[in-house]
């Protein structure tokens, strides 16, 4: 056991009250993710140096539509993913709880499916290459992941396993046992580190190869999530699987494989006439 345990910085889950409406940090995380993601999208499509000459890409004006499609996909898919994958019995018994998103309960992998559907609908409507649309969305996705993991920490939820590391914390609702602040690990890896990797890739021409940023995101997120799952305490009913596996590991492994396939497709040799 550690000599001391870092005190958990208890934060009021309500950031500010706007009249009778409480605005929670959880909601602010989504708002911040979409806002800064939208600004990132605008910066990407406006920088001609990141694209091949004549390469089709969304206009800055059309990005508002893309944001709407993706935002609805993330929210609806994330909530349905949590309901169907992690706690279907509870929500089928209490269906009104499905709509109470302010209590938490969003699944990344469900949100990813929803966002993919949103990107597909936008690409079809705007006659844009789907891989190009997914590339620019993947490039800014770590922004939302970073804010989301911070919201998990503030709530608090999704805390880590028991540990004796010097930075261990005792989380409200998890007893007095010192635990890994695994939400911060995920914010650092899935958010900051992955975001930096994708930004550097874009700066060095990755957007000129449709599918490359998408593939790097899949591989990077998949490995980061699997690694962090070793430090995160899985729910014994909803997330823990045999042989030390967790639901997060199982759902993230295909992302690594799909991401690797996307990278190989993006970097495939092209014919001289292509």
Residues in CB range of 245: below 8 A, 6 or more apart: none
Distance from chain centroid for Cα 124? 24
DSSP state for residue 166 in the 8-state scheme: T
**Of the candidates 73, 81, 79, 52, the residue with the CA atom closest to the CA atom of residue 137:** 73
CA 244/CA 105 separation, integer angstroms:
23
Over residues 227-266, the pLDDT tens digits come to: 999 999 998 777 888 988 999 999 999 999 999 999 999 9
Over residues 61-77, the pLDDT tens digits come to: 999 999 999 999 999 99
Average pLDDT over residues 43-53: 96
Residues in CB range of 208: below 8 A, 6 or more apart: 50, 51, 52, 55
Quote the pLDDT of residue 4: 60
DSSP string, 191-251: IIIHHHHHHHHHHTTGGGSTTHHHHHHHHHHHHHHHHHHTTB---TTTTB-GGG-BHHHHH
Q: Are 201 and 130 in contact (CB under 8 A)?
A: no
Least confident segment among 125-139, 163-177, 191-205, 248-262: 163-177
pLDDT-derived band at 274 (thresholds 50, 70, 90) equals very low
pLDDT-derived band at 271 (thresholds 50, 70, 90) equals low
Question: Exposed/middle/buried for 166, CB within 10 Å: 0-12, 13-18, 19+?
Answer: exposed
Q: Are 128 and 122 in contact (CB under 8 A)?
A: yes
Residues in CB range of 110: below 8 A, 6 or more apart: 77, 78, 79, 80, 81, 82, 84, 85
**Domain parsing of the chain, residue ranges:** 22-266
Over residues 99-115, the pLDDT tens digits come to: 877 666 788 999 999 99
Over residues 152-180, the pLDDT tens digits come to: 998 888 999 999 999 999 999 888 899 99
Distances (CA, A) of 221 to 23, 73, 132, 139: 29, 19, 19, 12
Quote the pLDDT of residue 87: 78
């Amino acid at each position: 056991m550690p000599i001391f345990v870092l005190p958990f910085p208890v934060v009021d889950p309500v950031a500010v009250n706007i009249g009778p409406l409480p605005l929670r940090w959880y909601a602010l995380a989504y708002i911040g993710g979409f806002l800064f993601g939208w600004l990132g999208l605008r910066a990407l499509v406006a920088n001609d140096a990141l694209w091949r000459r004549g390469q089709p890409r969304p206009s800055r004006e059309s990005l508002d539509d893309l944001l709407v499609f993706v935002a609805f996909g993330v929210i609806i898919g994330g909530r349905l993913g949590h309901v169907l994958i992690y706690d279907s019995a509870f929500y089928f018994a209490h269906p009104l709880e499905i709509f109470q998103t302010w209590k938490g309960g969003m699944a990344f992998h469900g949100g990813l499916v929803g966002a993919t559907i949103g990107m597909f609908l936008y690409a079809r409507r705007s006659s844009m290459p789907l891989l190009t649309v997914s590339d620019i969305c993947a490039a800014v996705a770590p922004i939302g992941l970073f804010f989301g993991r911070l919201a998990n920490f503030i709530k608090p939820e999704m805390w880590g396993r028991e540990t004796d590391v010097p930075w261990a914390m005792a989380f409200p609702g998890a007893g007095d046992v010192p635990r890994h602040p695994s939400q911060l690990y995920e914010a650092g890896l899935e958010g900051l580190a992955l975001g930096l990797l994708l930004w550097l890739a874009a700066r060095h021409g990755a957007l000129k190869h449709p599918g490359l940023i998408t593939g790097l995101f899949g591989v990077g997120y998949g490995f980061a999530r699997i690694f962090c799952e070793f430090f995160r305490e899985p729910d014994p009913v909803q997330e823990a699987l045999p042989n030390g596996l967790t639901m997060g590991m199982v759902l993230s492994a295909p992302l690594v494989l799909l991401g690797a396939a996307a990278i190989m497709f993006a970097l495939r040799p092209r014919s001289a006439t292509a």
